[in-house]
Amino acid sequence: MDSKFGDIFRMKRYSVFAVAREAARYHTGWQRAWASPEPKKKYDVIIVGAGGHGLATAFYLGKNFGITNVAIIEKGWLGGGNTGRNTTIIRSNYLQDPSAALYEKSRSLYETMSQDLNYNVMFSPRGVMMLAQTEHEVRGYLRTAHANALQGVATRFIDPAEVKKLVPIINIHGPRYPVLGALWQPRGGTARHDAVAWGYARACSDMGMHVIQQTEVTAVRKEGNRVVGVDTTRGPIDCDKLGIVVAGHSGVMAERAGFRLPIESAPLQALVSEPIKPCMDVVVMANTVHGYMSQSDKGEMVIGGGTDSYNAYTQRGSFHHIEETVRALVETFPMISRLKMLRQWGGIVDMTGDRSPILSKTPVEGVFVNCGWGTGGFKATPGSGWAMAELMAKGHSPLTEEFSMFRFREGKFIDESVAAGVAH
């Protein structure tokens, strides 16, 4: 434990008064945002993976169930996986009822996240539109809009004129794929991805939980079929319950625990342009041409494409992907042909066959798994943590019931391939 702060790392609240006070004393009094403790011998709960989902799970275990003897163990740095690599789109316009419930819970938690965590996550409900550029997509999105109306998720289908009004830089008369309309979710948007991880880490640390970075979980120890602890690169640590929340490495961790998951891992890439003046204040996804774009607060155009067509664990970009994604988007946004690219990267996404996540008990008693968010789990971070915490604390949660890993054995798929599409 960071000796400067004693045994429990109590946070001073961030506020306008704190900013004024620190400005007056040349910023000498800020605390570190979270502690870097030495691991204990035993915790009630260990979460593997300090991405957004792992940290959110720990946060809600503490906040909703008073379980705070928790360690979140991360092999790299917190938020350094997909949480810090995504294009930050938040929406809940999915088709199936269980998905709508989970994603809308999550979107609604984003609305108050900055206040709940006392940390500015820069949630910007600027609106998300998914362009319909074929008759097939028009039918698909009309269907989703009707389903969303029944689910209480606020979306509507808008015509090309409204699309153009909301996004003046768009070319709605593209030669191959003119814009025929869009599925519009006005309260969708973006948030600052690193801040989501940092805010949860700080709140977990404040509750006395241990966020342990640079420590890999290398094995799961069992007695009979029950988990009793893990081996790590810093030695063995015992626990009563274990949550595996490692996204692209879920298959690897499951193998270490002694079971298999119906997951494929593949790289997903994104890029940003040089910063330019504000030109687009909504998020646009163009699934037919395979690309999506928003503008960050710094002015960069944030651009994402599809997944690599092969399974891999490489966390990097590639030239052919930049070319494909940019070529596709130029047709709908001709102005981006004049932009320079600033940087490009990749993350490892964990995909299920039905493009829905897994939040589940596992064949090993006391081990729970949260994965399969694939290309679109950033939006689900708080809802996933909320539901996973309930599952781990109580053994069941209404939000996770349909998302068991055993649904693939039973054929009870939650098909979201249309809602997932290229998009995130």
Ligand X SMILES: Cc1cc2nc3c(=O)[nH]c(=O)nc-3n(C[C@H](O)[C@H](O)[C@H](O)COP(=O)(O)OP(=O)(O)OC[C@H]3O[C@@H](n4cnc5c(N)ncnc54)[C@H](O)[C@@H]3O)c2cc1C
Q: Indicate whether 249 belongs to the interface with ligand X (CB under 6 A).
A: yes
Q: How far is the CB of 96 from ligand X (least distance, A)?
A: 17
Identify the three-state secondary structure at position 264. strand
x/- map, 343-362, ligand X, by CB under 6 A = ----x-x-------------
Q: Indicate whether 57 belongs to the interface with ligand X (CB under 6 A).
A: no
Q: Indicate whether 51 belongs to the interface with ligand X (CB under 6 A).
A: yes
Structure-token pair, residue 87: 């294009």
Report the residue number whose CB is nearest to ligand X.
51
Identify the three-state secondary structure at position 33. coil
Q: Indicate whether 107 belongs to the interface with ligand X (CB under 6 A).
A: no
Residues 6+ apart with CB under 8 A from 50: 72, 73, 74, 78, 79, 197, 201, 211, 213
Q: How far is the CB of 38 from ligand X (least distance, A)?
A: 17
Q: Which helix (H) or strand (E) holds 107?
A: helix 97-111
What is the spatial distance between Cα 307 and Cα 255, in angstroms, rounded to a whole number?
A: 24
Q: Indicate whether 321 belongs to the interface with ligand X (CB under 6 A).
A: no
x/- map, 290-319, ligand X, by CB under 6 A = --------------x---------------
Count, residues near ligand X per rule CB under 6 A? 40
Closest CA to 345 of 325, 374, 365: 325
Among 253, 271, 328, 420, binds ligand X (CB under 6 A): 253
What is the spatial distance between Cα 116 and Cα 14, in angstroms, rounded to a whole number?
A: 12
Our CB check for ligand X shows the closer of 33 and 142 to be 33
Q: Indicate whether 87 belongs to the interface with ligand X (CB under 6 A).
A: yes
Q: Indicate whether 106 belongs to the interface with ligand X (CB under 6 A).
A: no
- Max alpha carbon distance in the chain (Å)? 65
Closest CA to 130 of 96, 89, 161: 89
What is the spatial distance between Cα 70 and Cα 392, in angstroms, rounded to a whole number?
A: 12
Residues of the chain by 3-state class (helix, strand, coil), percent to 5: 35, 25, 40
What is the spatial distance between Cα 10 and Cα 356, in angstroms, rounded to a whole number?
A: 37
Our CB check for ligand X shows the closer of 172 and 307 to be 307
Q: How far is the CB of 374 from ligand X (least distance, A)?
A: 6
Q: Indicate whether 287 belongs to the interface with ligand X (CB under 6 A).
A: no
Site for ligand X in 65-84 (CB under 6 A): 73-76, 80-83
Site for ligand X in 372-391 (CB under 6 A): 373, 375-379
Binding residues for ligand X, rule: CB under 6 A, are 48-54, 73-76, 80-83, 85-89, 216-217, 245-247, 249, 253, 268-270, 304, 347, 349, 373, 375-379, 424
